[in-house]
């Protein structure tokens, strides 16, 4: 699952004590394990090897350029959703032919940047966007390689804010409209529609949800082929799970078992866009207890990380396993409330931000915590730092990558001057 383990009564990231990193770089601090990142990438690659897929790591989940560089070196392509992410991927040394560009609202400028860079595939989500892409491609003087994102009508049964595969979401096109566009753009000199794109939500813990949506996409591909409009690419998106509580997520091999049999005889170019399943378990957020207090009905532990560092609990009611960095020997990573532990205190772990929604955990049994104690929030590598903000004028935290026994700073802690960087050189 990951290389964050307790030995000698405290937490280590690979061969480095997390408390040493907190002492050296301060808190709040994101700590990533390069070994875990690589292991998750390889597991995905091996599980789907029979299809020889193009794996396009989803940049939005953890977009630090040094992380992207490590993944590019492993051979990963990239799934980007903005011009900024494309810029990051290219700066990380990505092969543009192995970049796919998704998103419902690409601007003309972003389309131009993608086409000029030679991006391998633009995943298009509306007729309006396809027409705009054809116009930009004509200006640039290229034929854009495109896929159409379709709505598979699958409810991935994840949080309402992260389900994407139904007609009630803004993503994709109904099958009939997609078929109509493939017909209308056949032979277009400016857009070459190569395939279909699916992404049903995140995290999706039921491999069958993929099987159902891929089955529907294959039916459409068959109908198009019968009409002389064969496409050669199927991008099946991301959304594979991670371990937030214990070992609850299916493994890469479980997803592959549901998906590979559907695609093995299809002679399609298959693209995968995993994000969370690669990065989530490769990062922890380390925070220090500032204060504790009791209000008569609740006990609060106030820490120096907040929704500004990790918004998932506030935004999605997400659960993250949390445990003290110096915990003694007793660390039940697979512990559930059904197996009570002695000596725990039920607390709300909250940040300093002026919002009642600013919490990292509510009603959480934890060992007693005192000011100065370090706490690790696990499975914070995906949608953690990437969603961090400067709300309340809080400088964003530092990020450290542990690799081959050494820690490297991959993003310095922001300063107060950084808060004003885009404001104070203007004579407004
Ligand atoms: C966010 C996203 C992904 C990655 O989702 P994960 O849950 O991180 O795997 C893949 N593809 C698209 C189009 C996305 O928007």
Distance CA 151, CA 172 (A): 5
Q: Are residues 143 and 167 in the same domain?
A: yes
Residues 6+ apart with CB under 8 A from 155: 163, 165, 166
Atom of ligand 1 nearest to the CA of 60: 1
The two structure tokens encoding residue 395: 């400088």
Which among 254, 276, 298 is the end of a domain? 276
Q: Are residues 238 and 290 in the same domain?
A: no
Map tokens 């566009």 to a residue: 181
Residue 172 domain flag: yes
CA–centroid distance, 279 to ligand 1, in Å, is: 12
CB 322 within 8 A of CB 364: yes
Q: Which long-range contacts (CB under 8 A, 24 or more apart) does 264-267 make?
A: 264/50, 264/51, 266/218, 266/234, 267/232
Q: Are residues 257 and 286 in the same domain?
A: no
Beta strands in 179-245 (DSSP E): 191-197, 233-235
Shortest-distance Cα residue to atom 3 of ligand 1: 238
- Domain total for the chain? 2
Residue 92 domain flag: yes
Atom of ligand 1 nearest to the CA of 61: 8
Atom of ligand 1 nearest to the CA of 274: 9
CA–centroid distance, 215 to ligand 1, in Å, is: 20
CA–centroid distance, 331 to ligand 1, in Å, is: 32
CA–centroid distance, 90 to ligand 1, in Å, is: 19
- CATH number, domain of 10, equals 2.40.37.10
Distance CA 263, CA 270 (A): 8
Structural domain harbouring 341: 4-31+280-420
The two structure tokens encoding residue 4: 């964050």
The two structure tokens encoding residue 60: 């939005």
- CATH number, domain of 162, equals 3.20.20.10
Residue 425 domain flag: no
pTM attached to this predicted model: 0.96
Alpha-carbon distances of 402 from 36, 398, 406, 408, 416, rounded to whole Å: 10, 13, 6, 6, 27
Around Cβ 427, how many Cβ atoms within 10 Å?
Answer: 3
Phi, psi of 149, rounded to the nearest 5 degrees = -80, 125
Distance CA 122, CA 34 (A): 29
Atom of ligand 1 nearest to the CA of 201: 7
Which among 276, 298, 326 is the end of a domain? 276
Shortest-distance Cα residue to atom 10 of ligand 1: 238
Shortest-distance Cα residue to atom 7 of ligand 1: 239
CB 113 within 8 A of CB 161: no
Q: Are residues 163 and 243 in the same domain?
A: yes
Handedness of CA 261, 263, 264, 270 (dihedral sign): negative
Q: Are residues 247 and 391 in the same domain?
A: no
Phi-psi region of 239 (alpha: psi -120 to 50; beta: other; left: phi over 0): left
Atom of ligand 1 nearest to the CA of 273: 10
CA–centroid distance, 280 to ligand 1, in Å, is: 12
Q: Which residues line ligand 1 (CB under 6 A)?
A: 58, 60-61, 79, 81, 102, 199, 202-203, 237-240, 273-277, 382
Q: Are residues 414 and 314 in the same domain?
A: yes
Q: pLDDT in tens for each of the 428 residues of the chain? A: 789 998 888 999 999 999 999 999 999 999 999 999 999 999 999 999 999 999 999 999 999 999 999 999 999 999 999 999 999 999 999 999 999 999 999 999 999 999 999 999 999 999 999 999 999 999 999 999 999 999 998 877 777 767 777 777 888 999 999 999 999 999 999 999 999 999 998 999 999 999 999 999 999 999 999 999 999 999 999 999 999 998 899 999 999 999 999 999 999 999 999 999 999 999 999 999 999 999 999 999 999 999 999 999 999 999 999 999 998 755 666 655 555 677 889 999 999 999 999 999 999 999 999 999 999 999 999 999 999 999 999 999 999 999 999 999 999 999 999 999 999 989 88
Q: Are residues 179 and 247 in the same domain?
A: yes
CA–centroid distance, 199 to ligand 1, in Å, is: 7
Residue 328 domain flag: yes
CB 41 within 8 A of CB 278: yes
Question: Which of 61, 169, 382 for mutating ligand 1's site (highest number of atoms within 8 Å of CB)?
Answer: 61
Question: Which of 62, 196, 202 for mutating ligand 1's site (highest number of atoms within 8 Å of CB)?
Answer: 202
Question: Which of 55, 149, 199 for mutating ligand 1's site (highest number of atoms within 8 Å of CB)?
Answer: 199
Q: Are residues 107 and 251 in the same domain?
A: yes
Q: Are residues 226 and 286 in the same domain?
A: no
Q: Are residues 330 and 185 in the same domain?
A: no
Return the axis-axis angle of helices 175-185 and 207-226, rounded to nearest 10°.
40
Q: Are residues 257 and 294 in the same domain?
A: no
Interior angle at CA 178, CA 220 and CA 163, nearest 5: 85
Residue 392 domain flag: yes
Q: How many Cα atoms occupy the beta-carbon half-sphere of 227 within 13 Å? A: 14
Q: Are residues 61 and 8 in the same domain?
A: no
Atom of ligand 1 nearest to the CA of 164: 15
CA–centroid distance, 239 to ligand 1, in Å, is: 6
Residues noted as catalytic: 354
Which among 251, 276, 301 is the end of a domain? 276
Question: Which of 44, 239, 244 for mutating ligand 1's site (highest number of atoms within 8 Å of CB)?
Answer: 239
Residue 428 domain flag: no
CB 249 within 8 A of CB 242: yes
């Amino acid at each position: 699952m990951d290389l964050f383990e307790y030995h000698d009564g405290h937490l280590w990231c690979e061969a480095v004590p997390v408390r040493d990193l907190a002492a050296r770089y301060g808190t709040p601090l994101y700590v990533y394990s390069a070994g875990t990142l690589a292991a998750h990438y390889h597991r995905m690659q091996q599980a789907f090897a029979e299809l020889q897929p193009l794996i396009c790591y989803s940049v939005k989940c953890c977009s630090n350029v040094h992380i992207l560089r490590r993944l590019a070196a492993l051979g990963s392509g990239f799934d980007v959703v903005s011009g900024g992410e494309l810029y990051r991927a290219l700066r990380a040394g990505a092969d543009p032919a192995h970049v796919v560009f998704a998103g419902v609202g690409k601007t003309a400028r972003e389309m131009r940047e993608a086409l000029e860079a030679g991006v391998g595939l633009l995943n298009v989500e509306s007729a309006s966007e396809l027409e705009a892409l054809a116009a930009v491609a004509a200006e640039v003087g290229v034929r854009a390689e495109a896929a159409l994102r379709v709505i598979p009508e699958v409810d991935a049964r994840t949080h309402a804010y992260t389900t994407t595969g139904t007609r009630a979401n803004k993503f994709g096109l109904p099958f009939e409209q997609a078929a109509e566009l493939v017909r209308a753009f056949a032979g277009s000199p400016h857009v070459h529609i190569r395939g279909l794109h699916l992404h049903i939500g995140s995290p999706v813990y039921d491999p069958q949800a993929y099987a159902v949506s891929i089955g529907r996409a294959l039916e459409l591909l068959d109908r198009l082929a019968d009409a002389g409009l064969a496409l050669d690419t199927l991008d099946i998106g991301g959304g594979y799970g991670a371990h937030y509580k214990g070992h609850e997520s299916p493994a890469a091999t479980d997803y592959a078992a549901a998906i590979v049999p559907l695609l093995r005889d299809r002679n399609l170019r298959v693209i995968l866009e995993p994000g969370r399943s690669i990065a989530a378990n490769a990062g922890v957020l380390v925070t220090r207890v500032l204060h504790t207090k009791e209000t008569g009905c609740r006990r609060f532990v106030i820490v120096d990380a907040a929704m500004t560092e990790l918004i998932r609990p506030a935004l999605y009611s997400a659960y993250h396993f949390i445990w003290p960095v110096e915990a003694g020997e007793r660390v039940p990573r697979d512990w559930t409330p059904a197996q009570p532990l002695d000596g725990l205190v039920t607390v709300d772990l909250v940040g300093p931000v002026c919002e009642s929604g600013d919490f990292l955990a509510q009603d959480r049994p934890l060992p007693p915590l005192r000011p100065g104690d370090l706490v690790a929030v696990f499975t914070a590598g995906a949608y953690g730092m990437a969603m961090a903000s400067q709300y309340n004028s809080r400088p964003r935290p530092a990020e450290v990558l542990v690799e081959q026994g050494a820690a490297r700073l991959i993003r310095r802690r922001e300063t107060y001057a950084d808060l004003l960087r885009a404001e104070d050189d203007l004579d407004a």
